[in-house]
Amino acid sequence: MDGISVIICCYNSALRLPLTLEYLAKQKTAADLNWEIIVVDNKSTDGTAASAWDMWKSSGCVIPLKIVTENKPGLNYARQAGVKAADYDIIIFCDDDNLLTADFVQSGYHLVQKTKNEGYGIWGGTPIACFDENVTIPDWFEKEQSNYVVGKQGDKTGDISYRGYLWGAGMIILKNIFLSVINEEVPLLLTDRVGSNLSSGGDSEISLRALIAGYKLYYKEDLLFKHYIPTSRLTVDYNNKLKKGFQLSDRILTKYWAFLYYVSGKNFLHRFFYSCVYLSKYYMNKINARKLTDHDKTVLSALFKKKFPDADFDLMRQLLKIKT
């Protein structure tokens, strides 16, 4: 159905969620735009659902609010539950600490309608850091702000497929694309964040799957929203934990990159060339003339299903068949 479903995935978000919903209640949309808000309660223990209901009732906003429960821990599972419950064909993922500008929903809708026929499947904007009052921002924050999902995602508005991913915060995706690249037949390989565990990579996995299936990524520089960063997270220790979370997802995401570059969407001559290159490396290793690197082994597995079997690459090959 034509419209937008805003999905907020929550784990113990009772204190953060009211402000996020307050900003959503102030959205300025056309009278004929159908949209809804879905709060996914991912095993919260702090009354997140009740907090959402109380705030929404007090706001007086007539836009429908749904509460969906997902008992399997993990941000990716929560996202899937939210998308399945969505009534509308455009999805906006809004984190529980995202404060969407008043025109975000309407602008997002127009952006999708304007560009979706050009092959785009995922869109993203620019998150701006928002802090507590009178907080001293560390000198290192600007350099490290992308770890916190803050800042520009590209040099300018337009195709950003070369980057390989868009951030999950503020991500806009078509429901049918999400469900075609993420389902029981092609389950996700990462869980993304689980509770307070800072594992990550779910947004990258969604983006890379869409790219493999043949869709493109679009960045709109002036599609703005605030990303609230509490003072407790402005520490070197927390930043290092974020980096550690990225590293934990690298083993899987590296496979996606190898498959995307060497197999997906490339013509026969391109694949033939790299097949020859990496087979040469393989046989040089056999005669002890050259040692295979981990990257070499990953690419060989992506290129040669039988000789270098890998169940993850088998799954990625299924993604190639999704888009005609």
What is the pLDDT at residue 31?
A: 95
What is the pLDDT at residue 197?
A: 53
Inside any domain, residue 193: yes
Inside any domain, residue 324: no
pLDDT digits (tens, 9 = 90+) for 55-78: 999 999 999 999 999 999 888 899
Last residue of a domain, one of 253, 285, 303: 253
Q: Do 160 and 289 reside in the same domain of the chain?
A: no
Measured distance between the N- and C-terminal CA atoms of the chain, rounded to whole angstroms? 22
Residue 244, pLDDT above cutoff 70: yes
What is the pLDDT at residue 306?
A: 83
- Is 57 buried (19+), middle (13-18) or exposed (0-12) by CB count in 10 A? exposed
What is the pLDDT at residue 84?
A: 97
Q: Do 50 and 187 reside in the same domain of the chain?
A: yes
Q: Do 58 and 130 reside in the same domain of the chain?
A: yes
Q: Do 92 and 199 reside in the same domain of the chain?
A: yes
Which CATH number belongs to the domain containing residue 243 in this structure? 3.90.550.10
pLDDT above 70 coverage of the chain, percent: 97
Q: Do 230 and 273 reside in the same domain of the chain?
A: no
Q: Do 138 and 240 reside in the same domain of the chain?
A: yes
What is the pLDDT at residue 303?
A: 92
Residue 27, pLDDT above cutoff 80: yes
pLDDT digits (tens, 9 = 90+) for 110-130: 999 999 999 999 999 999 999
**170 φ/ψ sector (left φ>0, alpha ψ -120 to 50, else beta):** left
* Cβ–Cβ under 8 Å, residues 218 and 123: yes
Q: Do 285 and 248 reside in the same domain of the chain?
A: no
Inside any domain, residue 233: yes
What is the pLDDT at residue 285?
A: 95
| pLDDT tier, 108 (very low <50, low <70, confident <90, very high otherwise) | very high
Inside any domain, residue 20: yes
Task: Residue 286: give the domain boundaries.
Answer: 263-319
Residue 200, pLDDT above cutoff 80: no
What is the pLDDT at residue 324?
A: 44
Q: Do 166 and 295 reside in the same domain of the chain?
A: no
DSSP 94-114: --TTEEE-TTHHHHHHHHHHH
User: Whole-number mean pLDDT of the chain?
Assistant: 93
What is the pLDDT at residue 290?
A: 92
Q: Do 165 and 272 reside in the same domain of the chain?
A: no
How far, in Å, CA of 22 to CA of 18, rounded? 6
| pLDDT tier, 195 (very low <50, low <70, confident <90, very high otherwise) | low
Q: Do 228 and 267 reside in the same domain of the chain?
A: no
What is the pLDDT at residue 212?
A: 94
Q: Do 168 and 125 reside in the same domain of the chain?
A: yes
pLDDT above 90 coverage of the chain, percent: 83
- pTM of structure: 0.92
Q: How many helices (H) and strands (E) does the chain have?
A: 11, 9
| pLDDT tier, 196 (very low <50, low <70, confident <90, very high otherwise) | low
Inside any domain, residue 258: no
Q: Which of 219, 169, 222, 139 is nearest to 20 (CA)?
A: 169
What is the pLDDT at residue 321?
A: 85
Domain count, the chain: 2
What is the pLDDT at residue 199?
A: 56
pLDDT digits (tens, 9 = 90+) for 287-313: 999 999 999 999 999 999 888 889 999
pLDDT digits (tens, 9 = 90+) for 148-164: 999 999 999 999 999 99
pLDDT digits (tens, 9 = 90+) for 201-230: 889 999 999 999 999 999 999 999 999 999
Residue 280, pLDDT above cutoff 80: yes
